[in-house]
Amino acid sequence: MIERKENCPLHDRNTFGMKVKCRLLLELDSPQDLLSLDMESLPKPVFVMGGGSNLLFLGDFPGTVIHPSFKSLSIQESPSGYPEGTVLVKVGAGIVFDDFCGWAADKGLWGAENLSLIPGEAGASAVQNIGAYGVEAKDIIETVHVFDKNTRTFSDIPCGECAYGYRTSNFKTVWKGRFIVTAVTFRLSRVPAPKLDYGGVRSALAERYPSEEELTPSMIRETVISIRRKKLPDPSETGSAGSFFCNPVISREHFLSILEKERAEKGADYMVPHYDVGDMVKVPAAWMIEQCGFKGVRHGGAQVYPKQPLVIVNSTGDALPSEILELERRVISSVNERYGIVLHPEVEHVGSVPSET
Ligand SMILES: Cc1cc2nc3c(=O)[nH]c(=O)nc-3n(C[C@H](O)[C@H](O)[C@H](O)COP(=O)(O)OP(=O)(O)OC[C@H]3O[C@@H](n4cnc5c(N)ncnc54)[C@H](O)[C@@H]3O)c2cc1C
């Protein structure tokens, strides 16, 4: 069934809480609905949306927003050709991703626990290649089930064909706008495979469970949730779209020149936080934003989140898209001036800023 809503307010449907509307919202509850949709007749542009947790709407959206709200879930135990203990779970695109993580942990299935509490829906997890605490969606995606808007057919895309990278995939690049994800098959396991070496999970786990109990996915899930709650704004209280900027990857020479300048200012022992990525170096954008003095800085209702400067929040609940954009531009320009690095937003900007009349 397709539910149609004209001039539909979106502020409850985007975690930034932007008070915008779309001309038409279509709520689809079955993949078969896609076959009965005449895409050509819909107000343009057409945008597919999940939980709206990685989006910045720049103004009222003049076209159609399609929300695939598919909620089916099916399980295949011990599929042949897979290692012992494997369980394949096909998750409808509209299932809240964290509900899936909670379900898997309750069932004692390993694989999704480190991704707990990431907002959004299962469909988008395969578009975005969401990641946290040393795990990315691609590590557990087996197949992405899609509807091709061009050919009006359903097909299954193996994980290996999606060109997954850091928060990216073919769905965000060469296939942009072509596919609607209808479901994602995740590969979980009954065989324990805890991943504890990232973001303080191991120490937080030891604090939470001091006796040496046998680890379960639920223990890791609860630990990850407690770490995230301390650091990140809860979208039900403070609007945001999570990390606003991608962490830049720069050449080693560039990194060394930054290190030299910082040491001249802060002392010879100072170390710029970084991670080696092959021959290149990843420098946390949050560190650069903080060094540029932006931690907690407000611009109208927008604010660089004091606990995590990588996040821009709608601190008053009434921030305008233009205020978020202006703060974004100020951050980009300061970081570029100081470090010669142009930060790129991770948050997708949707639509355009209304022109002043
Ligand atoms: C507080 C907070 C914390 C966050 N923490 C993390 C984190 O730790 N790690 C991380 O990776 N991300 C994080 N995010 C970002 C966000 O949760 C993810 O990007 C998430 O996958 C977005 O899911 P969504 O359903 O809200 O997608 P949306 O924001 O609605 O859409 C995102 C993109 O996916 C496309 N899309 C959505 N559904 C479909 C579909 N069915 N078919 C085709 N395309 C589709 C949209 O067109 C858009 O391009 C965080 C966000 C917030 C607000």
Q: Is the CB of 119 under 6 A from ligand 1?
A: yes
Mean pLDDT value across residues 218-231: 96
Q: pLDDT per residue over 153-176, tens digit each?
A: 999 999 999 999 989 999 999 999
Any idea which residues carry the catalytic annotation? 167, 243, 346
Q: Which helix (DSSP H) or strand (DSSP E) does residue 299 occupy?
A: strand 298-299
What pLDDT is attached to residue 352?
83
Nearest-CA residue for ligand 1 atom 19 is: 54
State in Å: Cα 354 to ligand 1 middle. Answer: 24
* C-alpha dist (Å) from residue 127 to 143, 302, 303, 322, 323: 12, 27, 28, 26, 28
What pLDDT is attached to residue 283?
97
Other CB atoms within 10 A of residue 276 CB? 10
pTM for the whole structure: 0.95
Q: Which atom of ligand 1 is nearest to the CA of 121?
A: 25
Domains within the chain, CATH numbers bracketed? 2-68 (3.30.43.10), 73-231 (3.30.465.10), 239-350 (3.90.78.10)
State in Å: Cα 306 to ligand 1 middle. Answer: 23
Q: Which residues contact 355 (CB under 8 A, 6 or more apart)?
A: none
State in Å: Cα 167 to ligand 1 middle. Answer: 10
Q: Is the CB of 10 under 6 A from ligand 1?
A: no
Q: Is the CB of 120 under 6 A from ligand 1?
A: yes
Q: pLDDT per residue over 41-52, tens digit each?
A: 999 999 999 999
